[in-house]
Amino acid sequence: MAATVIIPTTLRMFTGHRSELELDGSTVGEVITALADEYPETKKVLFGEDERLREFINVFVGSDNIRDLQGYDTPVNDSSEIMLIPAIAGGSGISKEDEEADDRTGSIMGDRIGEKLTNDEIRRYSRHLLLKEVGVKGQRRLKAAKVLIVGMGGLGTPLAQYLAAAGVGTLGLIDFDEVEESNLQRQVIHGSRDIGRPKVASAKDSIKQINPLVKVETYNERLTADNAERIISEYDIVADASDNYQTRYLVNDACVLLGKPDVFGAMYQFEGQAAVYYAKKGPCYRCMYPAPPPAGLVPSCAMGGVLGVLPGIIGTVQANEVIKLIIGGGEPLVGRLVLFDAWKMRWRQLKIRKDPRCPVCGNTPTITELEEYDYEDFCGVRSKEEEEEAVEGIEPKELKRRIDAGEKITIVDVREPHERAIAKFPDAIVIPIGQLERRKDELDPSADTVFICKEGKRSILAVRTLREAGYTGAAYNLKGGTNAWSRDVDSSFPQY
């Protein structure tokens, strides 16, 4: 019977730099003894003079410390995973053997490396140079690399900051938004003084403070089917930090057609995802998600919120994947999707397989030209005018006038309970969208019904849902939602 022993980095110099070992034994004690017998150098690290396991080392079977189980008598089997967890002080070191280690393979840079490092660069990147997996050659690859970050919001912030600090030679930043006050809760590359500035301009200034050696190219525009190939072709890697489906599919398709890796990240409320979609070596985004959800079904962070630190966690995972792809070696997230739940502090990993029927990277692709593909139609995106034609709306000032005139109006609040805790809308009844169909009889068809939400988007979905359920009364959405009500009617009502 052989269990898997996970060897931490600090002990690998005693195991021939192997990170996992298959060792025989029916108990933890027998497996640890087998480890010491096979690799005698580990004895002086693992055991004291009394031949007891040193106290700075913990042993886990799965997620449980053997102290809380049966100690060395804890039984194990072929599926058991034993982890040695030593205390770590921090810092890094390198042995002579490490210095002479052969160069790693697998970098997307191929033979391309940057110019010789200057003394200033050696000082700045010294902690990288001390890692045998990076070293001088890896740092020069970073120096030569060009990475495009799509979106300078929550995910783009840590991506840009850490890639700049790591010494990526050229960073491209594309975003058409301006900095808003609500961004500052998580987009820490921007500050209060940047409110109203283009995000790419604010981010460029911050990056130059972090590392003036990095070249920064900015694109204060939306990524579209018309400009995607032109822009992306200039870069080695694309990091997708966007916040909408049409951009995600566009980035994926452009990367497939141009042979570039797409380092993907996404988040909502407390949950995040990360993966590397690289059609040369594995599946693409369309292999995982052949089609997007119907428009309005999955809310954005602007509607549902996001924990401020979550984009930092997922964005740094993306930065980590970018760095590995540039340097070479390691195990990039190609063919794997990592899921993170910040509230429960849990990580999960799923396998993704290439779909031979994929329309862009499959055996018989049908998407070969970006300009010929309608991404907005594919993702069910409608223009503001089309949305207004589909669902009749009412302006905040007009709603206020009708309320003051005493007209017969029913106001339905479809916001989440925690949103209503921020501010209650006067005289509104509460019906979640998911309950509209079965609760439609509570509404009076003879009265005009106005649906409200934060931005006037979920209220459009609410009106559609009600109509599909057979409701015959007049139904409107409050244009711009409660934020517009605050701007145009009642400034005491908070915007969020």
* Catalytic (active-site) positions: 301, 453
* Pair of tokens at residue 112: 């391309």
Farthest-apart Cα atoms in the chain, separation = 89
Considering only CA atoms, which of 413, 182, 391 is closest in space to residue 300?
182
Asked whether the beta carbons of 167 and 327 are under 8 A apart, the reply is no
Say how far residue 102 (Cα) sits from the centre of its chain.
33
Using left for φ > 0, alpha for ψ between -120 and 50, and beta otherwise, residue 353 falls in beta
Q: ∠ at Cα 45 (39, 47), nearest 5°?
A: 95
Q: Which helix (H) or strand (E) holds 1?
A: none
How many Å apart are CA 156 and CA 360, to the nearest integer? 26
Residue 450 DSSP class: E
DSSP string, 23-72: EE-SBHHHHHHHHHHH-GGGHHHHB-TTSSBPTTEEEEETTEEGGGTTGG
Asked whether the beta carbons of 301 and 243 are under 8 A apart, the reply is yes
**426-431: long-range pairs with CB below 8 Å, 24+:** 427/403, 428/452
How many Å apart are CA 354 and CA 342, to the nearest integer? 29
Asked whether the beta carbons of 35 and 85 are under 8 A apart, the reply is no
Provide the Cα torsion 251, 254, 257, 262; round to 10°: -30
* Pair of tokens at residue 453: 């939400």
Which residue intervals of 305-426 are DSSP H helices? Answer: 310-327, 375-378, 384-390, 396-404, 417-422
Asked whether the beta carbons of 181 and 496 are under 8 A apart, the reply is no
> What backbone torsions phi and psi does residue 394 show, to the nearest 5 degrees?
-135, 135
CA atoms within 13 A on the CB side of 111: 0
How many Å apart are CA 224 and CA 251, to the nearest integer? 9
Integer CA distances (angstroms), 400 to 167, 223, 396, 458, in order = 55, 39, 6, 20
